[in-house]
């Protein structure tokens, strides 16, 4: 989760850092509906035990992040939060 080449202090504490980070974004080769649902569930389970999930969601909503799992939400869930 780099921001302009730097990490925000809260990002260093994120549970998604490391090899498990791959589940937070779809693979480049695409994925089926069931694969997406399972990947998102795995990512959200990591968010559930993350001490900075609230900050992460706040950051993603604040910058209008349209891809990936952030703060335990997917793209469509964040669109609802943004009212779009």
pLDDT computed for residue 30 by the predictor: 84
Query: 9-35, pLDDT tens digit by residue?
Result: 889 999 999 888 999 999 988 899 999
The pLDDT assigned to 40 comes to 96
For residue range 48-81, what is the model confidence (pLDDT) as tens digits? 999 999 999 999 999 889 899 999 999 999 999 8
pLDDT surpassing 50 at residue 2: no
How crowded is residue 31: how many other Cβ atoms within 10 Å of its Cβ?
13
First to last CA, the chain: 24
């Amino acid at each position: 989760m780099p921001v302009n080449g730097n990490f925000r202090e809260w990002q260093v504490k994120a549970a998604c850092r490391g090899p498990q980070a791959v589940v937070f974004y779809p693979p480049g080769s695409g994925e089926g509906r069931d694969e997406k649902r399972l990947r998102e569930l795995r990512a959200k389970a990591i968010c559930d035990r993350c001490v900075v999930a609230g900050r992460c969601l706040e950051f993603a909503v604040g910058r209008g992040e349209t891809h990936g799992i952030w703060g335990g939400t997917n793209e469509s869930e964040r669109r609802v939060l943004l009212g779009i």
